[in-house]
Amino acid sequence: MTAADVFAHPASRLSLEVFRLNGALIAVGDALVAPLGLTSARWQVMGAVAEARGRLPVAGIARNMGLVRQSVQRIADELEAEGILHFVANPHHRRARLVQLTERGAALFDAASASWLALADTLVAALGAGEVDRAVALLRAARESLQPPDREEEAS
Amino acid sequence: MTAADVFAHPASRLSLEVFRLNGALIAVGDALVAPLGLTSARWQVMGAVAEARGRLPVAGIARNMGLVRQSVQRIADELEAEGILHFVANPHHRRARLVQLTERGAALFDAASASWLALADTLVAALGAGEVDRAVALLRAARESLQPPDREEEAS
DNA sequence: GTCATATTGACCACGCGCTGTCAATATGTC
DNA sequence: GACATATTGACAGCGCGTGGTCAATATGAC
């Protein structure tokens, strides 16, 4: 296979489609939560905080999201300034305070979730739940195949 | 369905997996072309220029990539400064010069393509070509379902 | 306790995408 | 030709992700 065929390779087409869908999802997410004064990235951080049930510090949230600490830290600081989340003392670690949604943050996240679930339902209805699950499994397998199995190294 | 189930929704899991794979692909791409002095984004622009066979200006390349003009323009300017591509007169439009790879640019792109194809082959071998095609079709259907069918509006 | 190591938060710089705006150029209508 | 409209390139600003570095704090080996 020569370089000229690079565009036709199944892996190339998968990659390009992942890039496009990634962009489309962020655009849809931004539009969805803009009325709430949020962005796609802030919404995602709020989701990770909600999922952790307030039992993780910023670094733990970042690990769950597959991002580096610094990215989440900046957004978390902004969300704290807006009263959407707050940091509480961590009995196990003096510096690594736990991140929790405030009442206002939880209400915002619930509102965002409601909007998203409406769209998510129509999306799955159009695509078929079984096909979606199958694609999720393949995407995960692709990612695990790309990521050298264990890599938790610190950026520094 | 309540907001608490938002994480379990098939569309949510698909979205998160797309985000993760998108990040993994960019990371792999960066690592792949770093020895050539490239980045994932520059490599992608070079690919779009190669695919257009030097018959499109920056705005056309951007449309093909699903990005806005300005993003591609900045990278194209940098690639021109490094002698990887150059702008040639467009007989049909005085301002919109056509973008073409230089000899050096074409050689770099061939080298990057060779590296990628080796990885792409192992990836498809591990996942199964049929499954990959099936996933590509679903991702495209998901994107088309998310994007209001015709939207070419200019940012301004 | 002492030590090396790992983790965390803090700051800074940068890459890459977006939007907004402007002038220059093409295009279509009259 | 005159005009409105669309397209393109240029420039500026911002959001979000990354990496690098530092000090503070936990953890484990001895």
pLDDT in tens, A21-44: 999 999 999 999 999 999 999 999
Whether residue B1 is contained in a domain is answered as: no
d(CA A16, C1' C16) / Å: 17
Range of the domain at A117: 14-146
Q: What is the pLDDT of residue B94?
A: 82
Q: What is the pLDDT of residue A1?
A: 53
Rg (CA), chain B: 19
Quickly tell me which residue has 């830290």 as its tokens: A73
Determine the residue of chain A that is closest to B65 in CA distance: A20
Q: What angle (nearest 5°) sits at the alpha carbon of residue A67, between those of residues A34 and A6?
A: 95
B43 in contact with nucleic chain C (CB within 7 A)? no
| H/E stretch holding A127 | helix A103-127
pLDDT band at B147 (very low <50, low <70, confident <90, very high): confident
A155 in contact with nucleic chain D (CB within 7 A)? yes
CATH of the domain at B63: 1.10.10.10
pLDDT band at A151 (very low <50, low <70, confident <90, very high): very low
Mean pLDDT of the region B11-26: 94
- Say yes or no to pLDDT of A153 above 60: no
- Say yes or no to pLDDT of B20 above 60: yes
Q: How many domains does chain A have?
A: 1
Average pLDDT score, chain B: 89
Q: What is the pLDDT of residue A150?
A: 45
Do the Cβ atoms of A150 and B39 come closer than 8 Å?
Answer: no
Q: What is the pLDDT of residue A155?
A: 32
Whether residue A74 is contained in a domain is answered as: yes
Strand partners, A100: A86
A36 in contact with nucleic chain D (CB within 7 A)? no
Contact between chains at B132 and A66 (C-beta distance less than 8 A): no
Residues 6+ apart with CB under 8 A from A99: A49, A52, A54, A56, A57, A58, A61, A76, A85, A86, A87
pLDDT band at B8 (very low <50, low <70, confident <90, very high): very high
Mean pLDDT of the region A5-13: 93
Q: What tens digit of pLDDT does each residue of A38-70 get? A: 999 999 999 999 999 999 999 999 999 999 999
Contact between chains at B22 and A20 (C-beta distance less than 8 A): no
Whether residue A154 is contained in a domain is answered as: no
Q: What is the pLDDT of residue A22?
A: 93
Do the Cβ atoms of B32 and B119 come closer than 8 Å?
Answer: yes
Whether residue B6 is contained in a domain is answered as: no
Chain D nucleotides near the protein (CB, 7 A): 7-13, 15-22, 24-27
Contact between chains at B24 and A146 (C-beta distance less than 8 A): yes
Mean pLDDT of the region A140-150: 80
Amino acid at B76: A
Q: What is the pLDDT of residue B150?
A: 46
* Residue B125 touches partner A, C-beta closer than 8 Å: no
pLDDT band at B90 (very low <50, low <70, confident <90, very high): confident
Contact between chains at A119 and B11 (C-beta distance less than 8 A): yes
Q: What tens digit of pLDDT does each residue of B113-141 get? A: 999 999 999 999 999 999 999 999 999 99
Quickly tell me which residue has 């770093």 as its tokens: B34
Tokens describing residue B73: 């323009």
- What's the distance, CA B100 to chain centroid? 17
Mean pLDDT of the region B49-63: 93
pLDDT band at B152 (very low <50, low <70, confident <90, very high): very low
Mean pLDDT of the region B11-20: 94
Whether residue A9 is contained in a domain is answered as: no
* Residue B31 touches partner A, C-beta closer than 8 Å: no
d(CA B78, CA B49): 14
pLDDT above 90: percentage of residues in chain B: 83
Which residues from chain A sit within 8 angstroms of residue B11, using beta carbons? 119-121, 123-124, 132
Whether residue B87 is contained in a domain is answered as: yes
Least confident of A21-25, A115-119, A144-148: A144-148
- Say yes or no to pLDDT of A109 above 70: yes
Which of B14, B127, B140 is the closest to A17 by Cβ? B140
Mean pLDDT of the region A131-150: 87
Rounded to a whole number of angstroms, the distance from the CA of A93 to the nearest CA of chain B is 28
Contact between chains at A132 and B121 (C-beta distance less than 8 A): no
d(CA A66, C1' D28) / Å: 27
Mean pLDDT of the region B79-100: 90
